[in-house]
């Protein structure tokens, strides 16, 4: 999940490469590097750390050249240091790579026997030497076709050549890659986001394809090296800002943007006048679908889990959920009457994409719930339900989560109504209540003072637990994930009713336990489970909804009350304090909130 940029221009490219790399840092940020071609030489600069560090370490203004490639890395093979940073170069070839070469060890042995010397521990360096070797015997297009066929695994590549100084080669298998068109220059980028500042004209490479980019021409080839034509797409202009504005972090901004996310989703899918849900161009008859499988990773998987509860409540459909990295390798029973829903913010997550690809190869009905509508998952699914939450830059997903669960809730309501499995009046009431959700979220966001004070406790301990039952269980998992990824504190999400089957042994004096107990069908049961952890010394933070009834328990450490609404919608409101808890706890520790250690926003490797 590294970031790649390449520019072929009639002017110096280093400044534009740096700007694009800064945009691409959400894909990886443990090292950065650039290679340009100038006066018949490859000029390579790279360093450990962020693009800012690269700028501090080198005089990049004087890095000349009208052709160049750049890279931000998320380490897979070899430590994150300057030696392993990309580009990797031989005397003639320089490469930036996103992905994993699975047969790199075998290729390295072969290339060593041919006299190639390796400097890094990366799999990427193998590509450099393989191309160098193949160019000894063949012309560029044949050498590239041959090299790509020798590589196993996934890749997006940007390649420049000392002896062919007027072009960049881009190649894709498994990892996304886009070409952009500008005035007197053309570009290569991991995604359209990196290119947006320079152009809105884009072509996406498909799997197996490669391209040759010159300043005034772009040529495309299929995996057999045969020239092909490809369409140029015009990107929609996105009004939502890519800047932090007055916020300290993108995450803080994105949490506060959630009322807008929900408003936009409602505007897109709900006819307010008739209290009706509109899902236009749905390609199948409702009678053709008897089961649904929802697939995603991380936070997106939690959205799938949330959806399972709603679909089961509102329809009689058979609902399955799966983690993409598990689904893709299992012996799945593909059934004709199943709909497969892929949930992803980026639309580029490698495991989710592979699961989609597997379903497509088995002729299944596929639907994508995604944020980035130009993404691979959105382009390849039969049907797309966009989240419309605008760019999410913070690595920890916040507004995309609420956006995903909104769309999935809307879909479950619509299915319930079309299948006559919910009463017409109940359906209308639920749609009407949904219209109040943005203002309820707005009010639930006003808890910063309380949460800030509470958050320190979570930093002082070795572990914490997040408990919930029913609709609150997926939210407990999401809360635990947010805390661990931002604050590096062990946090475990658990169904409250399962504690007595083992995890209760973890509870000791002063351990913080977040209990999600809204006043729903599970309330009394969850409160009993809460008392069991309090009895064993836990410091309980109870998150519930406002009510005239008093809370039926004693010895609770802290309580946060979100607004009141119907049971279906409470998960949206319960999520907010958990996002803020993770945010403030990381803030107090001084951690890098938008770029937590070891992670990246777009996970395009397995
Ligand atoms: C956690 C988080 C990740 C992503 C996961 C899937 O805060 O953001 O767990 O949810 O990597 O990413 P997408 O949604 O882009 O497929």
CATH number 3.40.50.10490 given to 241-435 = yes
Q: What are phi and psi of 544, to 5 degrees?
A: -140, -175
What is the pLDDT at residue 95? 97
pTM above 0.75, yes or no: yes
pLDDT digits (tens, 9 = 90+) for 473-504: 999 999 999 999 999 999 999 999 999 999 99
Average pLDDT over residues 528-552: 93
> 16: closest CA among 183, 204, 163, 159?
183
pLDDT in tens, 415-432: 999 999 999 999 999 999
User: How do the domains of the chain map onto residue ranges?
Assistant: 3-234, 241-435, 447-594
Tokens, residue 230: 């490809």
C-alpha 394 – ligand 1 centre gap (Å): 11
- Which atom from ligand 1 is nearest to the alpha carbon of 346? 15
**Is 601 a residue of the active site?**
yes
Q: Check if 3-234 and 447-594 are the same fold.
A: no
Is 346 a pocket residue for ligand 1 (Cβ < 6 Å)? yes
300 close to ligand 1 (CB < 6 Angstrom): yes
Domain 447-594, architecture per CATH: 3-Layer(aba) Sandwich (3.40)
Q: State the sign of the Cα–Cα–Cα–Cα dihedral 36, 38, 42, 45.
A: negative
211 annotated active-site: no
pLDDT tens digits, 268-295: 999 998 899 999 889 999 999 999 999 9
End-to-end CA distance of the chain: 9
Instruction: Tell whether ligand 1 has an atom less than 6 A from the beta carbon of residue 299.
Output: yes
Residue nearest to atom 8 of ligand 1 (CA): 397
Tell me if 579 sits within 8 A of 451, measured CB to CB.
no
- The closest alpha carbon to 210, from 172, 177, 180, belongs to 172
CA of 299 to the centre of ligand 1 (A): 5
Atom of ligand 1 nearest to the CA of 603: 11
What DSSP string describes 142-175? HHHHHHHHH--EEEEEEEEESSSTT-EEEEEEBS
Per-residue pLDDT, 237: 60
In angstroms, what is the span from residue 343 Cα to ligand 1's centroid? Answer: 10
* Predicted confidence (pLDDT) at residue 239 exceeds the cutoff of 50: no
267 alpha carbon – ligand 1 mean position (Å): 25
What pLDDT is stored for residue 430 in this prediction?
97
- Looking only at the bridges linking them, the beta strands covering 463-468 and 512-516 are parallel
Catalytic residue among 196, 308, 580, 601: 601
| Ligand 1 and 350: CB distance under 6 A | no
Whether residue 579 contacts residue 466, with contact meaning beta carbons closer than 8 Å, is answered with no
Which residues make beta-bridge pairs with 544? 561
Tell me if 68 sits within 8 A of 35, measured CB to CB: yes
Each residue's pLDDT tens digit, 95-153:
999 988 999 999 999 999 999 999 999 999 999 999 999 999 999 999 999 999 999 99
Chain Cα centroid distance, residue 144: 31
- Per-residue model confidence as pLDDT tens digits over 374-390: 788 998 999 999 998 99
Q: Is 403's C-beta closer than 6 angstroms to any atom of ligand 1?
A: no
CB of residue 344 inside a 6 A radius of ligand 1: yes
Pocket test for ligand 1, best of 254, 297, 393 (most atoms within 8 A of CB): 297
Q: In what order do the strands lie in the sheet with 463-468?
A: 490-495, 463-468, 512-516, 539-545, 558-562
What is the percent of the chain with per-residue pLDDT over 90, rounded to a whole number?
84
User: For residue 298, how far is its CA from the centre of ligand 1 (angstroms)?
Assistant: 5
Dihedral sign from CA coordinates of 341, 346, 348, 351:
negative
Q: Is the CB of 151 under 6 A from ligand 1?
A: no
Is the distance from CB of 165 to CB of 2 less than 8 angstroms?
no
| Strands (E) located in 197-280 | 201-204, 210-214, 217-221, 227-228, 233-234, 270-271, 276-277
Instruction: Report the CATH fold assignment for 3-234.
Output: 3.60.20
CA of 600 to the centre of ligand 1 (A): 9
The H-assigned helical ranges of 419-497 are 424-434, 437-444, 448-459, 473-487
Q: Whose CA is nearest to atom 5 of ligand 1?
A: 298
Give the DSSP H or E segment for 528. helix 523-535
For residues 141 and 225, give the distance between their C-alpha atoms in angstroms, rounded to a whole number.
6
pLDDT for 196 equals: 82
| Cα 241 versus chain centre, distance | 18
Token readout for 534 is 């309090």
211 SS3 class: strand
- pLDDT recorded at residue 553: 78
| φ and ψ of 494, to 5 deg | -150, 150
DSSP state for residue 551 in the 8-state scheme? P
């Amino acid at each position: 999940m590294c970031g790649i940029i390449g520019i072929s221009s009639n002017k110096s490219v280093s400044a534009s490469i740096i700007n694009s790399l800064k945009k691409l840092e959400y894909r990886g940020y443990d090292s950065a590097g650039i290679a340009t071609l100038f006066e018949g030489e490859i000029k390579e600069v790279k360093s450990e750390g962020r693009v800012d560090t690269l700028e501090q370490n080198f005089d990049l203004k004087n890095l000349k050249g009208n052709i160049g490639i750049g890279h931000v890395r998320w380490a897979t093979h070899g430590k994150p240091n300057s030696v392993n940073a990309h580009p990797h170069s031989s005397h003639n070839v320089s490469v930036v790579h996103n992905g994993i070469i699975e047969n790199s060890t075998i290729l390295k042995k072969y290339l060593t026997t041919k006299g190639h010397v390796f400097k890094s521990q990366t799999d990427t360096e193998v590509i450099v030497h393989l191309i160098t070797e193949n160019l000894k015997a063949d012309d560029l297009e044949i050498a590239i076709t041959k090299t790509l066929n020798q590589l196993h695994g996934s890749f997006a590549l940007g390649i420049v050549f000392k002896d062919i100084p007027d072009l960049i080669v881009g190649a894709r298998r498994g990892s996304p890659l886009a070409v952009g068109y500008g005035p007197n220059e053309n570009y290569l980028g991991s995604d359209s986001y990196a290119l947006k500042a320079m152009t809105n004209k884009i072509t996406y490479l498909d799997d197996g394809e490669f391209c040759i980019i010159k300043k005034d021409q772009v040529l495309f080839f299929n995996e057999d090296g045969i020239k092909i034509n490809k369409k140029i797409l015009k990107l929609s202009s996105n009004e939502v800002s890519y800047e932090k504005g007055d916020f300290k972090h993108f995450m803080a901004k994105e949490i506060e943007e959630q009322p807008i996310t929900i408003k936009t989703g409602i505007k897109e899918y709900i006819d307010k006048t008739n209290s009706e849900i509109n899902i236009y161009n749905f390609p199948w008859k409702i009678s053709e679908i008897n089961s649904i499988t929802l697939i995603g990773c991380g936070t997106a998987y939690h959205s799938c889990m949330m959806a399972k509860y709603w679909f089961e409540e509102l329809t009689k459909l058979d609902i399955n959920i799966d983690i993409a990295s598990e689904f893709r390798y299992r012996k799945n029973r593909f059934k004709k009457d199943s709909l497969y829903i892929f949930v992803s913010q980026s639309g580029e997550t490698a495991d989710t994409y592979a699961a989609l690809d597997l379903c497509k190869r088995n002729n299944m009905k596929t639907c994508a719930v995604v944020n980035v509508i130009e993404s691979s998952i959105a382009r390849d699914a039969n049907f797309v339900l966009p989240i419309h939450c605008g760019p999410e830059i913070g690595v920890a997903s916040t507004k995309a989560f609420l956006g995903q669960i909104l769309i999935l809730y809307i879909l479950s309501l619509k299915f319930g109504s079309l299948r006559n499995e919910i009463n017409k009046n109940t359906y209308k009431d639920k749609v009407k209540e949904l219209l109040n959700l943005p203002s309820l979220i707005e009010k639930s966001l006003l808890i910063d003072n309380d949460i800030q004070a509470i958050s320190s406790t979570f930093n002082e301990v070795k572990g914490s637990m997040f408990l919930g039952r029913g609709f609150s269980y997926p939210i407990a998992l999401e809360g635990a994930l947010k805390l661990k990824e931002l604050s590096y504190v062990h946090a475990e999400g658990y169904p409250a009713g399962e504690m007595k089957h083992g995890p209760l042994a973890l509870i000791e004096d002063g351990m913080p336990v977040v209990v999600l107990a809204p006043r729903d069908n599970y309330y009394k049961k969850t409160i009993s489970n809460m008392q069991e952890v309090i009895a064993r010394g836990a410091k309980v933070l109870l998150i519930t909804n406002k009510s005239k009834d008093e809370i039926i328990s004693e010895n609770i450490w802290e309580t946060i009350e979100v607004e009141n609404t119907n049971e279906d919608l409470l998960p949206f409101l319960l999520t907010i304090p958990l996002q803020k808890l993770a945010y403030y706890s990381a803030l107090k520790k001084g951690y890098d909130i938008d770029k937590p250690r070891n992670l990246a926003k777009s996970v395009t490797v397995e």
